[in-house]
Amino acid sequence: MTLRYAAITDRLYDLGGDKWALHNAARARKAAGETIIDLTIGEPDVPTDPGLVEECVKALRAGRTRYSNGRGEVNLIEALIETYAHRFPDITSDNILCFPGTQTALFAIIQALAESGDGVLIGDPYYATYEGVVQATGAHVQPVPLRMEHNFELQASDLAAAITADSKVLLLNTPHNPTGAVLSRQTLQELGALCIEHNLWIVCDEVYESLTFGTPFASPLEIPALRERTIVTSSISKTFAATGFRSGWTIGPVELSRRILPISETMLFGNQPFIADMTEAALRGSFDTAERMRIAFDRRAHMIHETLSDSPVLSTALPQGGMFIMIDVANTGLDGETFAWRLLEDFGVAVMPGSSFGATATSLVRLALTVPDEVLHSAVKSMIDFRVPRTFP
C-alpha cells in the first residue's frame, strides 16, 4: 500500500528547486575551483557588528539559555514598543509577536489570514518564498504587475484591476525585493483606500526598511485608518547584517496577534532569550551597519545605471532601496533565463533570472548589490560585452 502524505507537501513540492537552479550551478562551479562572480543572492557583504556578537555571547554566558514564551522576551518587546512608537503611538505588547525572522513571521501571518479559495494579492515580480507561504495555506497568489516605467512601484490602478471576490489579503514588500521599489506614503494611501473598500488585510514585509536611497521609507502602520487591518513584519537580518541569528517580529492589531500567537507557539514554543537580548541591544544601540550598506548599495546602483546608459540593449530603473537591481534584457532577443545561463557559461557571471520571481519578470535579470564595486563593474561590463560575439535578432 502506498503511504499517504498531506496535500501541503504536494502544494510545496515543486516550489523552490527550479528557481535556484542557476544559483546552485554557480555555487557548484565555484566549489570546483572556477572563478565565478556570484550576484545571485543578497547576503549583506559586511559582517555582523562585533559589538552585537559580543552581546549575544554575553547573554549566553549569563545563562540566557532557557525557554522563553510565545510572544517574546519582555526586554525585547519593550525595545520594540520604543522602536515603533513613532509610527504607532498606541502600541502595547499585545500588538507584538517575536519570531525567528521575517520568513517564519510571514508564514504564521498568512496561516492566520488565508485558506483554500482565498486570493493573496502580490506585486509581481515578488520575493521567491512568497508563493510557498501562500500555497502552504491552500490559498492562491493573485499577481499584480509591477512595471519598470513606474520604477516598479505598485500602482493602485493595477491593484484595482487584480482584485476579485476571492481577494482577502494584500501582501506588500517595501523596499522591494527583487525590484528595489519603495512605496511612497501617497501610494500607500491609495492602495490602502482600495483595501478598505474591498475589506482586505494588509501584510507588509519591511525587512529592508533601513536600506532606502531615494524615496523615504513609509509604512502602512503610519496611516491610522489602515492600522486595524495592517500587520507589518521586520527583522534584524538586513539592518544589522545578522541573517543567521534569525530574529524578527510582527506588529499588528491585538486580535490578529492573539490569533497568530497559538500558531507560533505550536510551531516554535518560543524564541531564544540570548538572541532576544542581542536583538534588544541592536534596536537600542547606534550601530552603523545599515548606513554603511545603504551608502554602498546606492553608489553601486548608480554606477550600474550609468554604465548601462551607453548600452543600446540593456536598460534598468534605479532602485529606490533594498539590495538588488533589475536589468531588462529583452532587446538582446533573449529572455532573462537564457541570458542568465549564457552569461554564466561565457563569462562566469551569475545573475538571477527574473522568471524566478514571477511571470511579469521574464525579460529581466536581478543583480545583488552586495559585492565590491570593482567586481560589480566588471560583471556589468561582461553583460555589455556579452552581445559582441553574437548577432542578436
Ligand X SMILES: Cc1ncc(COP(=O)(O)O)c(C=O)c1O
Integer angstrom CA distances of residue 301 from 103, 142, 312, 322, 360: 26, 30, 19, 10, 22
C-alpha cell at 221: 502602520
Instruction: Sort strands 201-205 and 230-235 into parallel, antiparallel or unpaired.
Output: parallel
**Closer residue to ligand X (CB): 136 or 160:** 136
**Closer residue to ligand X (CB): 123 or 192:** 123
Residues 168/201, Cβ–Cβ less than 8 Å: yes
Long-range contacts, 61-70 (Cβ 8 Å, 24+): 64/273, 64/274, 64/276, 64/277, 65/272, 65/273, 65/274, 66/273, 67/269, 67/270, 68/270, 68/271, 68/272, 68/273, 68/276, 69/270, 70/97, 70/261, 70/262, 70/264, 70/265, 70/268, 70/269, 70/270
| Shortest distance, position 66 Cβ to ligand X, whole Å | 24
- Judged by DSSP in three states, 41 sits in coil
| Shortest distance, position 391 Cβ to ligand X, whole Å | 37
| Shortest distance, position 131 Cβ to ligand X, whole Å | 13
**Closer residue to ligand X (CB): 124 or 205:** 205
| Shortest distance, position 246 Cβ to ligand X, whole Å | 7
Q: Which residue bears the cell 525572522?
A: 101
| Shortest distance, position 244 Cβ to ligand X, whole Å | 9
**Closer residue to ligand X (CB): 235 or 250:** 235
**Closer residue to ligand X (CB): 243 or 362:** 243
- Nearby residues of 323 by Cβ (< 8 Å), 6 or more positions away: 42, 44, 177, 208, 211, 238, 293, 297, 368, 369, 370
Positions in the binding site for ligand X (CB under 6 A): 42, 101-103, 127, 173, 177, 205, 207, 235, 237, 243, 248
| Shortest distance, position 370 Cβ to ligand X, whole Å | 11
**Closer residue to ligand X (CB): 323 or 344:** 323
Nearest residue (beta carbon) to ligand X: 101
| Shortest distance, position 50 Cβ to ligand X, whole Å | 20
Cα separation, 8 vs 231, in Å, equals 25
* Residue type at 100 in one-letter notation: P
Of 209, 250, 258, 202, residue with least CA distance to 226: 202
| Shortest distance, position 178 Cβ to ligand X, whole Å | 8
**Closer residue to ligand X (CB): 174 or 332:** 174
**Closer residue to ligand X (CB): 317 or 334:** 317
